[in-house]
Amino acid sequence: MSLSELTRLSARDAVAMLRRREVSSLELVDAAAERIAEVDPVVNAVPTLCLDMAREAAGALVAPNDPGPGWLAGLPILVKDLTDVAGVRTTYGSPIFANHVPERDDVMVSRLKRNGAIVLGKSNTPEFGAGANTFNEVFGKTRNPWNVDMTCGGSSGGAAVALATGMTWLATGSDLGGSLRTPASFCSVVGLRPTPGRVPQGPTSDPFQTLSMNGPMGRNVADLALMLDAEVGVEPSFPLSLPEPGISFESAALSPKLPGRIGFSPDLGIGPVEREVAEICSAATTKLADAGASVDESCPDFSGAMDVFQTLRAALFVTSRSSLLQNHRDALKPEMIWNIEKGMKLTAAAIGRAHVERGKLTRRVASWFENYDILACPVAIVPPFDVDTRYVERVGDHEFDNYVDWLYIVAAITLTGCPAISVPCGFTADGLPVGLQLVGRPRGEAALLSVAAAAEDVFGLDGLVPMDPRCKNNSV
């Protein structure tokens, strides 16, 4: 099998070949390196490589006698540039850390390595992951492979592009306000924001926060589930971490089953959405209904969700980034400054109200899930937009006054603590991808992955990636 053919393998197929010794980890590293050299100059998704380190790790890998779920057997992966990898340049997308090289791995990276992952390098991200367009002052902008004039979304944009173009088989992401769901939608790949605590992370200054979480990204649901198995488990330094499940997530994804009742909303009742996106997602749920699911137009009451999210997000920025404003203000992008300053102006009463309102929302969502199995809605309210547009400022007659509010349809789901996955469901008339967001019950990743796999079968779009980058006229 040629190197180019190896890059087109699914992650599960590549791991199966590794386990049978039909291919070596070194060959996969070489295949990925060749594909990155071919494609990345066009899309700029993988700015940092550690190929010598990857080859050394591949050559030294020793398989356990009885590999458990999530054993990746030497599969090369990419790690988002927000996440520390020991000995590898990790910039967080910021000129402040342009030459930063961590001395230790993030705990998620440690788990992945113990489960046989080989780190190829780092995927591009906006500065400190702030914003849903992947650009920064260190590495520049990452382009959408479906049309290189468009954004890939963010903040896990480099990861999504690398998956869509065959530069990696699996990639890590993280998600505060849709940071892995939005780029998955924009690039026609799959991204899961798990229940808080499902995937360990850190060490962090705020280990009890439940807004920003790590999660897996893949080209299809079963690949993603394999990576989730490699990431999960209890870590003492992350007190929210959950034990490994009794059944592997990969097994759940390989048992696709449509749910009994799906509630669908094009806008969660709280914001605008472009008509074409709403129509594509509605048509996708009609396909699910035709396949046997019961679909109603229904969703929990999300009123006030964005005020709550903006308050808690701003408070989190103060906790994690206020020292940067004090010491490096001139090096921060305007959106970062705005968000930190917003947090510094908050009163204790405002933060307390936000927590109380989040609690009320959580109870409303739990009550809604007594009658429904899955909530479905768009992942993004617009399709991919011009790569030089920093964020969406207007949809129809509605104008957004900041860089976060247009992400309401993913941010509101973040508040619920429910796992949510982006599954490709269609394309616009201009050939740009649209994803359907499927939301399950808290800690219900297994059931959600089973549903997502069934939806993936119904939509039939997972075979479109990996692909070569395209201009508007479908060529580069």
Q: What is the amino acid identity at position 306?
A: M
Nearest to 72 by CA among 196, 172, 197, 188: 172
Integer-rounded Cα radius of gyration of the chain: 20
pTM: 0.98
Quick one: which of 278, 285, 467 has its CA closest to 381?
A: 278
473 confidence band (pLDDT: 50, 70, 90): low
Q: Which listed residue (156, 174, 179, 248) is catalytic?
A: 179
SS3 assignment, position 59: helix
Segment 45-74 shows an average pLDDT of 96
Q: Fill in the DSSP letter of residue 425.
A: E
CB atoms within 10 A of CB 347: 8
* Residue 133 DSSP symbol: S
**Structure-block tokens of residue 268:** 């969660």
Task: Please say whether the dihedral angle defined by the alpha carbons of residues 264, 150, 168 and 212, taken in this order, is positive or negative.
Answer: negative
Q: Please give the pLDDT value at position 112.
A: 98
DSSP 282-319: HHHHHHHHHTT-EEEE-----TTHHHHHHHHHHHHHHH
Burial of residue 98 (number of CB atoms within 10 Å: 0-12, 13-18, 19+) = middle
User: Is the pLDDT reported for residue 147 higher than 60?
Assistant: yes
β-strand partners of 121: 49, 78
Whether 295 has a pLDDT exceeding 80, the answer reads: yes
Please indicate whether residue 155 is annotated as part of the active site: yes
Token pair in block for residue 84? 């520390």
pLDDT digits (tens, 9 = 90+) for 201-227: 999 889 999 999 999 999 999 999 999
- Residue 149 in tokens: 């004039």
Q: Which residues contact 19 (CB under 8 A, 6 or more apart)?
A: 63, 67, 71, 73
**190-193 and 420-427 beta bridge pairing:** antiparallel
pLDDT of residue 475: 57
Stretch 442-470: mean pLDDT: 97
257 belongs to the catalytic site: no
Cα–Cα distances in angstroms (integers) from residue 332 to residues 319, 337, 375, in the given order: 16, 7, 37
118 has pLDDT over 60: yes
- Supply 286's token pair: 């009609």
Q: Is 373 helix (H, G, I), strand (E, B) or coil?
A: coil
Average pLDDT over residues 38-44: 98
Domain 3-307+347-464: CATH architecture, name and number where available: Alpha-Beta Complex (3.90)
Q: With cut-offs at 50, 70 and 90, classify the pLDDT of residue 472.
A: confident
Q: What is the pLDDT of residues 160-193, one digit of tens each?
A: 999 999 999 999 999 999 999 999 999 999 999 9
The arithmetic mean of pLDDT across residues 261-279, rounded, is 98
Alpha-carbon distance of 361 to 366, in angstroms, equals 9
Name the residue ranges covered by the structural domains of the chain.
3-307+347-464
Residues near 51 by beta carbon (within 8 Å), at least 6 away in sequence: 29, 33, 120, 121
CA distance 341 to 331: 15
Give the per-residue pLDDT at 1. 86
From 374, 392, 422, 419, select the one nearest 264 (Cα to Cα): 374
The rounded mean pLDDT for the chain is 97
Opening angle at CA 198, ends 435 and 127, nearest 5? 60
Q: From the candidates 10, 25, 123, 155, which is the catalytic residue?
A: 155
Q: Check if 113 is active-site.
A: no
**Torsion angle (degrees, nearest 10) of CA 255, 260, 266, 268:** -100
| β-sheet bridge partners, residue 458 | none
Cβ count within 10 A of residue 195: 23
CA distance 196 to 382: 27
pLDDT classification of 18: cutoffs 50, 70, 90: very high
Phi-psi category of 210—alpha, beta or left, where left has phi over 0 and alpha has psi -120 to 50? alpha
CA 50 to chain centroid: 22
Q: Are strands 294-297 and 261-264 parallel, antiparallel or unpaired?
A: parallel
**Taking residues 344-349, what's their average pLDDT?**
98
3-class secondary-structure state, position 465: coil
**Residue among 10, 25, 80, 212 flagged as catalytic:** 80
If DSSP codes are grouped into helix, strand and coil, which group holds residue 344?
Answer: helix
Please give the torsion angle defined by the CA atoms of residues 281, 409, 135 and 130, in that order, rounded to the nearest 10 degrees. -160
Question: What confidence tens digit (pLDDT) does each residue in 305-341 have?
Answer: 999 999 999 999 999 999 999 999 999 999 999 999 9
Which amino acid, one-letter code, is at 37?
A
Average pLDDT over residues 17-28: 98
Q: Tokens for 459, please give them.
A: 């939509």
- What six digits make up the tokens of 330? 């001139």
Burial of 41 (C-beta count, 10 Å sphere; 0-12/13-18/19+):
exposed
Give the pLDDT confidence score for residue 22 in this predicted structure: 98
Ramachandran area for residue 400 (φ above 0: left; ψ -120 to 50: alpha; else beta): beta
**Mean pLDDT value across residues 234-260:** 95
